[in-house]
């Protein structure tokens, strides 16, 4: 049993025999030609044939995997059109055969793309250029060389896979793709994700793995070749669990989150950045209940500018096409430290200078974020949420800052919307004055992680206290119920964005207590939807 690790292009588990991709050899020799016009005409005839093949592939891909993903073949056709000047010039000036001119043009184009260090997408197009060139060269030499037929479902192993090869394969016979080269940004990776086939790239599997049993683990980015019996049985169980999740996805995607009696609950996703949006959409979240904006700061070497933040918030708002996006303002301190903030070392940072306390004492940082959020609100439905609230005056000062920012934007003729304002309820103080706070805001979101920590006086980062940390403690549950009731007394909607939001043991209680929204990791949405739809 040997494990080889690479990069995962698409998560999932596959178990089956390993088959090496058979590719036609494209050998190009440099040959002198006398009639350059005839050679150029031969190139154009092959190019026309290749264009017809690409059109057929695009139509097949559109039927199999969708219009957007099929556009890869439009990119191929564009590269092919760009070949003309170079190919014709090489044939005329060097008086050489068209095959060699096409191969040289492709090599030069690939080298140019490889040099684009600031553009990973274009770097990943090198394989597309070679795919196009090989197609034209094959057509000049009689065509053929694309088919791979298998008698059983296989884990397909290759040095690399061109998009045309991926699309023309009988996908019902392919359990997973594993390539020794390639990129997670390549069109092949995109197509594999769309096909819902686990895929690994940059995985150094030797050719003698052909015919052996394999296990592809797209979660760890590895393939196990010739696994022992215990490992095989363990992965069979994992595969069954993944198949059950897929069954849930197929059954529940697109359906309402509503109880049998007709009570609707909003199921939202927690995200840390733009990279999580695909999970939001894959799992059919109704919106984003917690965008942890501090990740924009954690991933930066300096304070992110207004423009940088605006672009991130705008992208999320646009991508979610009108769905609600709740953005939590900067929440650093405690377990999230950032060097350039130069925060003093504290004896008890969980009770110290963090979250809204930083924003209200470093107003320029806060104002920059609020300006970015309000500007982005013009492109979607953004809600603004303030964390770590303990007092009425804190909320009032936050609202005053919002009013100041809106006045500035209006004066500058910069479009924005009047965003709903909410706060996180994550301290006992906020629970006890929830009636007063509800009069000031549009919504509450209960942060159960910190609420449990502060209610039980337990540092949740301290592993030695783990057995004392009880998120189901009666005091925590009573605080949640009190918050829901206080919010509803003042027509303020109430959600949960902490870990308890996805706790299946509490879902029914939360719904019965009147919760309006539950926000959780995207992968938890469909299982929770199932519970709610089965409730009376």
Distance CA 248, CA 265 (A): 18
DSSP state of 266: E
Distance CA 156, CA 446 (A): 47
Instruction: Say whether 497 is catalytic.
Output: yes
DSSP state of 303: P
Distance CA 390, CA 450 (A): 13
> Pairing state of beta strands 13-20 and 213-217?
antiparallel
Task: Compute the half-sphere exposure of residue 34: CA atoms within 13 Å on the CB side of its CA.
Answer: 0
Beta-carbon neighbour count of residue 193 at 10 Å? 20
Looking at 76, 187, 402, 419, which residue is catalytic? 187
CA nearest 446: which of 514, 400, 363, 528?
514
Paired strand residues for 270? 290
What burial class does residue 342 get, using C-beta atoms within 10 Å of its C-beta: 0-12 exposed, 13-18 middle, 19+ buried? exposed
Sheet hosting strand 174-179, strand order edge to edge: 2-5, 222-225, 213-217, 13-20, 154-158, 174-179, 199-201, 7-10
Tell me the two tokens of residue 28. Answer: 């190009």
User: CA gyration radius for the chain?
Assistant: 28
Distance CA 259, CA 532 (A): 5
Distance CA 270, CA 499 (A): 10
> Residues 6 or more apart from 27 whose CB is under 8 A from it?
none
Q: How far is CA 468 from CA 71, 75, 475, in A?
A: 55, 58, 13
Angle of helix 363-376 relative to helix 306-319, nearest 10 degrees, comes to 30
CA nearest 215: which of 199, 227, 203?
227
Paired strand residues for 5? 222
Q: How far apart are the first and last CA of the chain?
A: 50
Instruction: Say whether 411 is catalytic.
Output: no
Distance CA 148, CA 169 (A): 7
What burial class does residue 95 get, using C-beta atoms within 10 Å of its C-beta: 0-12 exposed, 13-18 middle, 19+ buried? middle
Distance CA 193, CA 189 (A): 6
Beta-strand ranges (E) seen in 272-371 are: 288-292, 324-328
Distance CA 183, CA 162 (A): 11
DSSP state of 180: S
3-class DSSP assignment, residue 441:
coil
Percentages helix, strand, coil for the chain (3-state, rounded to 5) are 50, 15, 35
Catalytic residues: 187, 497
């Amino acid at each position: 049993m040997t494990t080889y690790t690479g990069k995962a292009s698409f998560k999932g588990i596959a178990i089956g025999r390993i088959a090496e991709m058979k590719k036609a050899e494209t050998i190009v020799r440099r040959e002198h030609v006398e009639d350059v016009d005839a050679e150029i005409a031969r190139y154009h005839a092959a190019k026309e044939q290749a264009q017809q093949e690409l059109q057929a592939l695009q139509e097949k891909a559109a039927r199999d995997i969708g219009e957007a993903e099929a556009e890869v073949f439009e990119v191929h056709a564009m590269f092919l059109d760009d070949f003309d000047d170079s190919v014709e010039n090489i044939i005329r000036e060097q008086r050489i055969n068209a095959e060699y001119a096409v191969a040289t043009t492709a090599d030069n184009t690939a080298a140019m793309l490889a040099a684009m260090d600031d553009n990973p997408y274009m770097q990943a197009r090198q394989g597309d250029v070679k795919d196009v060139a090989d197609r034209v060269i094959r057509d000049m030499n009689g065509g053929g060389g694309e088919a791979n037929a298998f008698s059983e479902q296989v884990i397909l192993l290759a040095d690399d896979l061109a998009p045309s090869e991926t699309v023309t394969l009988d996908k019902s016979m392919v359990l997973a793709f594993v390539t020794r080269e390639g990129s997670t940004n390549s069109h092949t990776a995109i197509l594999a994700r769309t096909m819902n086939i686990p895929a690994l790239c940059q995985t150094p599997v030797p050719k003698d793995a052909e015919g052996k049993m394999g296990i592809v683990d797209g979660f760890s980015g590895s393939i196990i070749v010739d696994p022992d019996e215990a490992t095989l049985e363990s992965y069979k169980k994992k595969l069954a669990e993944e198949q059950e999740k897929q069954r849930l996805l197929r059954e529940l995607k697109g359906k309402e989150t509503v109880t049998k009696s007709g009570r609707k609950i909003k199921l939202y996703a927690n995200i840390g950045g733009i990279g999580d949006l695909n999970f939001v959409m894959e799992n059919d979240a109704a919106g984003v209940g917690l965008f942890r904006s501090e990740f924009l700061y954690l991933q930066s070497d300096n304070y992110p500018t207004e423009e940088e933040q605006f672009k991130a918030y705008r992208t999320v708002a646009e991508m979610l096409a009108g769905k609600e996006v709740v953005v939590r303002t900067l929440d650093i301190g405690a377990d999230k430290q950032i060097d350039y903030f130069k925060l003093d070392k504290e004896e008890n940072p969980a009770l110290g200078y963090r979250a809204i306390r930083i924003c209200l004492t470093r107003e320029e940082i806060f104002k920059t974020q609020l300006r970015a959020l309000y500007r982005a609100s013009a492109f979607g439905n953004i809600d603004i949420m303030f964390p770590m609230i303990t007092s009425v005056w804190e909320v009032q000062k936050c609202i005053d800052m919002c009013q100041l920012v809106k006045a500035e934007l209006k004066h500058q003729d910069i479009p924005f919307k009047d965003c709903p304002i909410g706060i996180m309820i994550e301290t006992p103080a906020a629970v006890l004055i929830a009636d007063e706070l509800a009069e000031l805001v549009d919504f509450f979101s209960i942060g159960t992680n910190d609420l449990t920590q502060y209610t039980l006086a337990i540092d949740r980062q301290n592993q030695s206290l783990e057995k004392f940390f009880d998120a189901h403690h009666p005091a925590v549950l009573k605080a949640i119920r009190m918050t829901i009731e206080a919010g509803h007394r003042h027509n303020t909607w109430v959600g949960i964005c902490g870990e308890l939001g996805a706790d299946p043991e509490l879902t029914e209680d939360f719904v019965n207590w009147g919760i309006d929204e539950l926000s959780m990791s995207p992968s938890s949405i469909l299982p929770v939807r199932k519970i709610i739809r089965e409730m009376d």
